[in-house]
């Protein structure tokens, strides 16, 4: 029996070399990255980015089809009989988590039917991992299926209820119990503990980590997912918290239950107050920011969202001289582990948004360095907290567009450029936005059929106001040349009517480019 159990363990992740042998070189390299435990998602994104640059048309379809293929599974310890399972079920739980997180980030460029087939295969696992189940349901929600299913399993729900009872006492409905009793996220209205309670809860939290030693790796992975995963619901919830913070750090529409920043400052632990005061003193003295200053910034890893808001408010980040930005950003980037999405978004928004919106001339070298360096480490918080609000601002001009183009070209991977392009489909275009769109198209993000169709519809609907715009005409020319393989007969008909009203010198080249596209 022990020998059979050992064989089963080998099948579920330890004999990865045999499983990977069924894939070709590029696919094997990507899957090896996904097998790298908690660091697997970040490594896979880096590998995928390099592969996309080397071979822009590369698809994951064949990899997903192979993962869904039935394979003979070694005998189970309980039954001692062979069984047939999808290949993906033979991989380790950490691989499945990394795979689902990776797909969640790039699912817009994948065939929906293939992704749904993979999720169906994962559902056949006789011993499902709770994190894999949660990520599968997140992805199903993102693809507009099974909205009513909770992310947690029944067993997980029972464990959470036990945990909430231990935290707040049986029968009470405040704190965590209120959150677990309702599927809506209530972090913004939850009662904030004072400093003494925070210390006690940290001790309690450490004791709960031993409830299930088998999930230790899963817990580490969840922290990474909190930073990187692109689930719309999580982003929306955290984004709402960020939207409540103005560039100066004050709250614009905070819930009535949320304490003021001054009151929250009084409840901060003493070591946080001391660190904030030391950082503020160093910034105001305008001395060189040395290693000691960098060490002070480690306090950020202990901050929750509201404490981060206090931090930004106390330091008056929008008012700092721009010459301090590069060294300040170096201190932020030296933090390990990375900040969570919500903390990073709050800090980046307070530090950069007001500066970028107020630009009336090209950005300084210091501001460019700050934007590109933070955008490289925290691309999604940068997109949601800075890029999106800037493009939505009706006063956006060429200085803002030039800075965002530097960010897009130098710091954002393909899937984040695609995210920014999707943002442009929800706003009114002007000359500055056209410049950003042109830069995005030149970088050639991977567009699937649905996104390209949405883009062409936006192109046609907004084209009437740009009949004399050379920028709009150049952008159209980029679409017809670099994305000609995406253009269907229906697209050609819509684009042809749009070109008829063009009044620039590029009208004839545009019509010629459209005519050269072969019928589908």
> How many domains is the chain partitioned into structurally?
4
* pLDDT band with cut points at 50, 70 and 90 for residue 312: confident
What would you measure as the largest C-alpha separation in the chain, in angstroms?
79
Question: Does the pLDDT at position 368 exceed 90?
Answer: yes
489 burial class (0-12, 13-18, 19+ CB within 10 angstroms)? exposed
DSSP 71: E
Over residues 143-153, the pLDDT tens digits come to 766 555 666 66
Evaluate whether 349 touches 242 at the Cβ level (below 8 Å). Answer: yes
Q: Which of 377, 409, 441 is the last residue of a domain?
A: 409
Determine the Cα–Cα distance for residues 299 and 314; give it in Å rounded to an integer.
14
Q: What is the pLDDT of residue 197?
A: 45
Determine the Cα–Cα distance for residues 167 and 173; give it in Å rounded to an integer.
11
Same domain membership, residue 267 and residue 391: yes
Task: Write the CA distances from 268 to 197, 238, 293, integer angstroms.
Answer: 11, 22, 20
The overall average pLDDT reported for the chain is 75
Same domain membership, residue 447 and residue 364: no
In the numeric block, which tokens belong to residue 485?
A: 């393989």
The residue that leads in pLDDT, 282 or 444, is: 444
Determine the Cα–Cα distance for residues 371 and 383; give it in Å rounded to an integer.
11
Mean pLDDT for the stretch of residues 239-251: 40
Same domain membership, residue 376 and residue 431: no
**Most confident option among 66-80, 327-341, 504-518:** 504-518
Same domain membership, residue 167 and residue 129: no
Same domain membership, residue 38 and residue 136: yes
Mean pLDDT for the stretch of residues 214-231: 41
Same domain membership, residue 374 and residue 252: yes
Same domain membership, residue 265 and residue 218: no
* pLDDT band with cut points at 50, 70 and 90 for residue 363: very high
The residue that leads in pLDDT, 199 or 32, is: 32
Determine the Cα–Cα distance for residues 70 and 62; give it in Å rounded to an integer.
14
Question: Does the pLDDT at position 123 exceed 80?
Answer: yes
Same domain membership, residue 403 and residue 263: yes
Same domain membership, residue 188 and residue 65: no
Sign of the CA dihedral with 348 first, then 349, 353, and 354 last: negative
Question: Which CATH number fits the domain that encloses residue 475?
Answer: 1.25.40.480
Q: Which of 354, 385, 409 is the last residue of a domain?
A: 409
pTM of the model: 0.53
DSSP 86: E
The residue that leads in pLDDT, 26 or 358, is: 358
User: For the chain, how far is it from start to end, CA to CA, in angstroms?
Assistant: 60
Q: What is the pLDDT of residue 230?
A: 41
Q: Which of 366, 393, 409 is the last residue of a domain?
A: 409
Mean pLDDT for the stretch of residues 127-132: 84
Q: What is the pLDDT of residue 81?
A: 67
Determine the Cα–Cα distance for residues 267 and 46; give it in Å rounded to an integer.
41
Same domain membership, residue 235 and residue 353: yes
Same domain membership, residue 214 and residue 113: no
Q: Kindly report the backbone phi and psi dihedral angles of residue 245, in degrees, each rounded to the nearest multiple of 5, phi listed first.
A: -110, 125
Evaluate whether 155 touches 131 at the Cβ level (below 8 Å). Answer: no
In the numeric block, which tokens belong to residue 499?
A: 């070109």
Q: Kindly report the backbone phi and psi dihedral angles of residue 251, in degrees, each rounded to the nearest multiple of 5, phi listed first.
A: -95, 135
Q: If we measure between CA atoms, which residue out of 519, 461, 446 comes closest to residue 495?
A: 461
Q: Which domain holds residue 121?
A: 2-151
* pLDDT band with cut points at 50, 70 and 90 for residue 447: confident
Mean pLDDT for the stretch of residues 491-505: 88
Kindly give, in sequence order, each residue whose CB lies less than 8 Å from that of residue 221, ignoring residues fewer than 6 positions away.
37, 38, 94, 97, 98, 131
Query: 250-258 — which CB contacts under 8 Å span 24+ positions?
Result: 250/313, 251/309, 254/188, 255/188, 255/189, 257/189, 257/190, 257/191, 258/188, 258/189, 258/192, 258/306
* pLDDT band with cut points at 50, 70 and 90 for residue 10: very low
The CA-CA-CA angle for residues 411, 413, 414, to 5°, reads 140
Of 141-155, 212-226, 326-340, 480-494, the range with the lowest mean pLDDT is 212-226
DSSP 519: P
């Amino acid at each position: 029996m022990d020998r059979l159990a050992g064989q089963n363990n080998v099948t579920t992740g330890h004999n990865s070399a045999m499983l990977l042998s069924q894939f070709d070189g590029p696919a094997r390299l990507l899957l090896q990255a996904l097998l790298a435990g908690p660091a697997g998602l970040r490594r896979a994104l880096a590998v995928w980015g390099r592969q996309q640059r080397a071979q822009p048309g590369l698809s994951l379809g064949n990899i997903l089809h192979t993962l869904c293929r039935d394979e003979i599974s070694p005998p189970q310890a309980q039954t001692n009989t062979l069984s047939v399972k999808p290949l993906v079920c033979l991989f380790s739980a950490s691989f499945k988590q990394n795979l689902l997180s990776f797909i969640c980030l790039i699912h817009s460029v994948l065939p929906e039917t293939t992704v749904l087939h993979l999720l169906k295969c994962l559902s056949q696992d006789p011993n499902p991992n709770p994190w894999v189940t949660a990520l599968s349901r997140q992805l199903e929600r993102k693809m507009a299926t099974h909205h009513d299913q909770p992310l947690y399993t029944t067993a997980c729900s029972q464990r959470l209820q036990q945990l909430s009872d231990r935290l707040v006492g049986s029968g009470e409905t405040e704190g965590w119990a209120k959150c677990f009793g309702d599927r809506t996220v209530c972090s913004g209205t939850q009662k904030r503990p004072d400093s003494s309670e925070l210390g006690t809860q940290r001790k309690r939290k450490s004791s709960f980590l031993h409830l299930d030693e088998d999930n230790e790796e899963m817990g580490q992975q969840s922290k990474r997912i909190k930073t990187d995963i692109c689930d719309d619901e999580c982003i929306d919830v955290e984004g709402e918290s960020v939207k409540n913070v103005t560039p100066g750090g004050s709250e614009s529409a905070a819930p009535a239950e949320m304490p003021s920043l001054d009151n929250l400052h009084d409840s901060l632990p003493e070591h946080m107050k001391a660190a904030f005061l030391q950082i503020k003193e160093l910034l105001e003295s305008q001395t060189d920011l040395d290693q000691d200053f960098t060490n002070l910034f480690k306090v950020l890893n202990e901050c929750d969202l509201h404490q981060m808001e206090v931090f930004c408010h106390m330091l008056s980040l929008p008012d700092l001289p721009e010459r301090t930005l590069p060294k300040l950003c170096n201190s932020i980037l030296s933090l390990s582990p990375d900040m969570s999405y919500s903390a990073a978004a709050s800090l980046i928004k307070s530090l950069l948004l007001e500066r970028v919106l107020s630009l009336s001339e090209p950005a300084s070298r210091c501001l460019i360095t700050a934007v590109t360096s933070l955008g490289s480490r925290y691309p999604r918080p940068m997109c949601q907290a800075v890029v999106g609000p800037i493009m939505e601002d009706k006063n956006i001009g060429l200085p803002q567009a030039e800075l965002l183009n530097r960010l897009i070209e130098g710091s954002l991977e393909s899937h984040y450029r695609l995210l920014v392009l999707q943002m442009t489909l929800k706003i009114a275009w002007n000359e500055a936005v056209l410049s950003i769109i042109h830069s995005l198209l030149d970088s050639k993000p991977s567009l699937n059929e649905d996104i390209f169709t949405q883009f062409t519809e936006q192109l046609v609907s907004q084209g009437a106001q740009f009949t004399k715009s050379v920028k709009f005409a150049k952008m159209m020319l980029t679409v017809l040349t670099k994305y000609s393989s995406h253009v269907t007969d229906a697209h050609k008909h819509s684009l042809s009517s749009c070109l008829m009203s063009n009044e620039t010198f590029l009208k004839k080249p545009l019509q010629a480019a459209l005519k050269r596209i072969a019928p589908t």
